[in-house]
Amino acid sequence: MGTLIFVGLLEKITKEKGKFYEFLELNGFHIVYNPVQRIYTGGYKQKGTDLAIFKNATELANIDSYDKGILVSGDGDFVGLVNTLKESNKWIEIWSFKKSLAKELKDAVGARNVHYIDDILDEIEFKSSN
């Protein structure tokens, strides 16, 4: 199947995000949308994203639906997912901000498979067609 990108879907996809996801799909990426709950704790917070990503990534790995996964997160809670995917012979990359990358996650995936969003921020620009 190729490369999957797991997206936590908090609400309806905006037109701009939809175009971005369409661009990714046209360039060979497969988007897996993970609906998440939104809870109020003095401010809104996503709930259930980690579990949904873990569940979908492992279920799809078990039926050999993809070769490579890209996880855009630095959350150490994903160490178990990385280890599970490696046991299933899946290639996994992490994209994260330097400050938010857990050492345990970096160690689990290997430094050569970690990429920092900070390093490419100047190159990233999304322009709306409007």
Residue 47, in any domain of the structure? yes
Domain that holds residue 66: 3-123
What is the spatial order of strands in the sheet that 68-72 belongs to? Answer: 29-35, 3-9, 68-72, 91-96, 114-116
CATH number at residue 88: 3.40.50.1010
pTM for the model stands at 0.70
Report whether 78 contacts 96 (CB < 8 A): no
pLDDT at 16 over 70: no
Q: Considering the domain boundaries, does residue 49 fall inside one? A: yes
Q: How many domains, in total, are found in the chain?
A: 1
pLDDT reading at 74 higher than 70: yes
Cα–Cα distance, 84 to 114 (Å, whole number): 17
Q: Which residue has the higher pLDDT, 74 or 43?
A: 74
Average pLDDT over residues 29-43: 71
pLDDT of residue 105: 97
What is the per-residue pLDDT across 77-121, written as a single tens digit (0 to 9) for each? 999 999 999 999 999 999 888 999 999 999 999 999 999 988 887
